[in-house]
Amino acid sequence: MLSDRIVLLARDLEAASELREIVAQCNPFHEILTLDAGDPARIQDFLQSLASGKPDFVFVEIRDFRDLAEVFEPLMNADPALRLLVYGRKIENHTYLELHRLGFGNRILHLPARREQLERITDDLRTSHSAPLPPPVELCPVISFLPGKPGSGASTAAWHFAAACAERLQGRVALVDLDLNCGVHSLFIGAASGMNLFDAISVVDHSGRLPDAEYLPSRDGVLILSTQRRCRSSRIDSRLFDNFLTAVRAACNLVVVDHSGNWERFSVQAMKASAVVFCVSGNDYLSLAQTHRAAALIEEEGFLGSVRLILNRHGSSFSVPVEEAARLAGFQIAATLPNSFSQLQTALRRGRRADPRSAYSSALADLVTQTLRSLRLYREEDKAQIQRWEDSRSWLAALGLSRRRASAPSSPLIGRS
């Protein structure tokens, strides 16, 4: 429960005194408490006091990364719903960018400041829904697609994977495109009309739920949430995105996220929330070497155990043996996709997916089945139906033939090490 206290965490007492005067003008009936941010014992006592009652606002003086690590992040971890504001006379450039990535770009008060500036920030916080939404009883799984390097075919694979899942599940599947520079999904017919990603996030922020399906662009049974335009200067508040992802997971049977090389904080949070992250790499030495470098970032973020490798353009003249590819990339292999570059480019120009009977679609159908089985999104008695669905999309079916089935994998696709 919020109290009538306002807390100022400061190292520069002169700056805190200046801010205190402005805060008192805006909130004349609040108790204003100033704490020394350089005293770890005082900070620890304050964190423990949050269990009994939260202040109305907490102002944190930020100058560099030390303040972020020692004061700001412990406050965020202690209570994500705490109303935090940042102030200071001079904030180091990289620290300022990090605050924007954390979603606090609109909560920074630069001193000297006017009363009107503070009132605008606090009024926005009081009316915002950026506090975490209460999670519903059940959330659907998230599957992420990450390119080992640009041009690996991760976006194309994500689109075909989502469409195949929608067809298989006969339910609502969402495809979230996090390429803020206009991703490939905006090029498909029907995806460039309706509400874009930023609009959907805003609706969730104000209403707490995903917009009705009639307002969202869709294609082949997949809700496509993309930017639909170049947005290099736009940023997504990580807290708002968390709420948005929760709303999408509550409304859908499966969520597929195409990260398109996006390593901003909200994108990394989506990867961490994923049941499995498919890292897509071309099957050549250069692509696999760059994918191995991405593995270092993934390990640093702590979700290496949920990453599986998809070898794209397998079977080309530059292809590496599968065992060698797994060793070079540093990931377990989930699937190999054949070299169908020209066919996919032709289909994309027409705003279509690859032929369902093509070798590419057949390989993805195997991956979809394996993934849905690992996620337990089907009943045990549906196995025969899955087999008929796979066979109907096989390129061999066009010739009246059936394919030989490999034995089931000895280890599950999804699992954390």
> What is the CATH number for 286?
3.40.50.300
In a domain, 417, yes or no: no
Q: Is 34 helix (H, G, I), strand (E, B) or coil?
A: strand
194 and 324 both lie in a single domain: yes
Give CA–CA dist 23/26, Å, rounded. Answer: 5
Report if pTM > 0.85. no
Partners of residue 7 on adjacent β-strands: 33, 58
Q: Is 333 helix (H, G, I), strand (E, B) or coil?
A: strand
Partners of residue 8 on adjacent β-strands: 34, 59
Task: Determine the residue type at 113.
Answer: A
Query: For residue 178, which of 246, 238, 252, 114 has the smallest C-alpha distance?
Result: 238
The encoded tokens of residue 369 equal 């089945």
Looking at residue 99, what is its pLDDT? 84
380 DSSP assignment: G
122 and 160 both lie in a single domain: no
Give CA–CA dist 282/341, Å, rounded. Answer: 11
Question: For 147-174, b where at least 16 C-beta lie within 10 A, e where not — what string?
Answer: bbbeebbbbbbbbbbbbbbbbbbeebbb
Low-confidence ranges of the chain (pLDDT < 50): 1-2, 129, 189, 233, 405-411, 416-417
Q: What is the dihedral of CA 162, 163, 166, 172, to 10 degrees?
A: 70
304 and 343 both lie in a single domain: yes
Give CA–CA dist 290/407, Å, rounded. Answer: 32
Partners of residue 332 on adjacent β-strands: 308
CA 234: distance to chain centroid? 16
Q: Is 338 helix (H, G, I), strand (E, B) or coil?
A: strand
394 and 251 both lie in a single domain: yes
Task: Determine the residue type at 331.
Answer: F
Looking at residue 8, what is its pLDDT? 93
185 and 307 both lie in a single domain: yes
Looking at residue 142, what is its pLDDT? 96
216 and 316 both lie in a single domain: yes
CA atoms within 13 A on the CB side of 190: 15
> What is the CATH number for 60?
3.40.50.2300
Q: Is 5 helix (H, G, I), strand (E, B) or coil?
A: strand
Looking at residue 144, what is its pLDDT? 96
In a domain, 412, yes or no: no
Looking at residue 409, what is its pLDDT? 45
Looking at residue 254, what is its pLDDT? 95
Partners of residue 256 on adjacent β-strands: 143, 175
Question: For 100-115, b where at least 16 C-beta lie within 10 A, e where not — what string?
Answer: bbbbbeebbbebeeee
Tallying the residues shown for the chain, one arrives at 417
Q: Which residues contact 274 (CB under 8 A, 6 or more apart)?
A: 141, 142, 143, 144, 257, 303, 306
| Domain assignment of residue 165, given as a range | 142-399
Task: Determine the residue type at 296.
Answer: A
In a domain, 405, yes or no: no
Task: Determine the residue type at 8.
Answer: L
122 and 183 both lie in a single domain: no
- What total number of domains does the chain contain? 2
CA distances from residue 240 to 202, 232, 310 in whole angstroms, order as listed = 8, 19, 31
Looking at residue 412, what is its pLDDT? 53
In a domain, 175, yes or no: yes
The encoded tokens of residue 380 equal 């045990």
> Torsions phi, psi of 413, nearest 5?
-65, -40
68 and 151 both lie in a single domain: no
Query: For residue 102, which of 132, 126, 76 has the smallest C-alpha distance?
Result: 76
Give CA–CA dist 35/39, Å, rounded. Answer: 8
CA atoms within 13 A on the CB side of 361: 23
The encoded tokens of residue 134 equal 């209460």
In a domain, 242, yes or no: yes
112 and 202 both lie in a single domain: no
Residue 44: exposure state from Cβ atoms within 10 A (0-12, 13-18, ≥19): exposed
The encoded tokens of residue 155 equal 């976006």
The encoded tokens of residue 265 equal 């904080």
The encoded tokens of residue 26 equal 């805006």
Asked if 331 and 308 touch (Cβ cutoff 8 Å), the reply is yes
122 and 147 both lie in a single domain: no
100 and 148 both lie in a single domain: no
184 DSSP assignment: G
236 and 290 both lie in a single domain: yes
Asked if 57 and 124 touch (Cβ cutoff 8 Å), the reply is no
